[in-house]
Amino acid sequence: MTYSDRKARLPGTLYIQGSWVHARSDLKFTVRDPATLDVFGECSDGDAIRAREASVAAASAFPAWSETPAEVRASFILQLAQLLERDAEFFRDLLVSESGKPRREAAGEVASSIAFLRWNAQQARHRLGRTLSSPQTDIQMWTVKRPLGVVAAITPWNYPLNTLCRKIAPSLATGCTLVVKPAPETPFSAVELLRRAEEVGFPPGVLNLVTTSRAAEAVQVWLDDPHVRKITFTGSTEVGKSLFRGSAKTMKRISLELGGHAPVLVFRDGDIEAAADAIVASRFRHAGQTCVCAQRVYVDEGVADELASSLTKRIKELRVSNGNDPNTDVGPLINEAAFARVTSHLVDALSKGARLRAGGSRVDLADPNRGFFFEPTLLEGAKPEMRVMQEETFGPLLTLSSFSTEEEAISEANSTSYGLVAYAFTNNLSRAHRLIEELNFGTVGINTTQIVWPQLPFGGFKDSGIGKENGLEGIDEYLNIKSAVLKISDAS
């Protein structure tokens, strides 16, 4: 079933100043279902002129929206959450067809998106500054928080709905207006969310959408536009660094959630079976195409065989199939380039001495499932010089290495250029606190791999990004903090 069969009846998929419009010259690009490789739908292919129109619309809407009472802004966001909840099954099925993820994972993405909208709506009412103590009785000091202005939100294909809600919710809550550019692989989640925003009745220009296959062209417009005061991007480290350089010209605020290479440290005092469950669930979620998934497992040599056996058993039980099959555990890779990257990392590791414990091959399914399916794979004996140990694979490939001391484990975990998320399994409370202090990552999960929550700040160190999303710290990324000093004169 195509996107058009499901719902779309739009003049175009660009949403600017409260209207749906075509791209100029009616240019379009195609979107394919990763499981079947069939054309799922067509999107309007926006250009620099449409991108400019979108940022102009957002800038014109900003003064009124920024002065809209917080209760009213919160009501708009809550209504959007209600419509997303009303249409949860539609969005679930859309995510399966766009991104290839299994149905239960898609359902989870919808649920988490609703949670992010609702939490940020609550925070819209609490944009508080601080009253500060003064060294003089005739001086009062306080801070005031004001919205930045126009925000450009650039979202990835792997979690197209969740990442969009994580960006638009705090923007809208704080009084910012937006231009949005979704990934060309998965644009329809954004299109449909904006349709719900239109149904809610957001004022024209508050939310604007540019679908395009020419990302650099559109984004350059926003980098150059002084009215765009913030860039928020989730995606690759390479693109993030380019945006960081480009934002300097107009001194924009920038938030970058970039690549990850998450280590998992499993100690002999930890729960080995629980660790195996969590590692497999994390690594093979969305076929390993997540920035927070476990990639490198380091296990105490005293329990290495036990963990290897537990992981192997669970991995071999995973079902690879079309995400529309309710029994699917692992869906397809997004495209051929993703398949090539996984294959090259595997070949490199095997050539340098890694041993294959499970998987390692493409999965050929019956028609119409012609996509790039790959077996969940476990490699033993991984070494630091292997590409899979230094580069983000973004696929269903897991490595297993052993360590003899805690210090060695921490050193290996910190040895890449990434610093997004790390995990550890231990029942030693003192060790847990040491790991939290010494692992150089933005988030550390102890005895769990569930680490993304609306109220918890999230963001990476080193090549994994700048700034925070989520939590009060994430909201502050969309605010300017103004300091005020008042001298009180004696009444005359």
Residue 279 sits at the vertex; the CA angle it makes with 276 and 284, to the nearest 5 degrees, is 125
Tally Cβ neighbours within 10 Å of residue 480: 14
**Alpha helix stretches (DSSP H) within 391-442:** 406-413, 429-438
* Structure tokens given for 109: 């993405």
- Cβ(455)–Cβ(119) under 8 Å? yes
Q: Say which residues have a Cβ less than 8 Å from residue 60's Cβ, sequence separation at least 6.
A: 17, 205
Distance of CA 98 to the CA centre of its chain: 16
Residue 179 three-state SS: strand
Closest Cα partner for 233 from 207, 217, 253, 206? 253
Distance from CA of residue 456 to its chain's centroid?
14
Q: What residues are labeled active site? A: 257, 291
Grouping H, G, I as helix, E, B as strand and the rest as coil, residue 315 is helix
**Bridging pattern class, strands 39-44 and 28-32:** antiparallel
Residue environment code for 198-214, b if the CB has 16+ CB neighbours within 10 A, otherwise e = eebebebbbbbbbbbbb
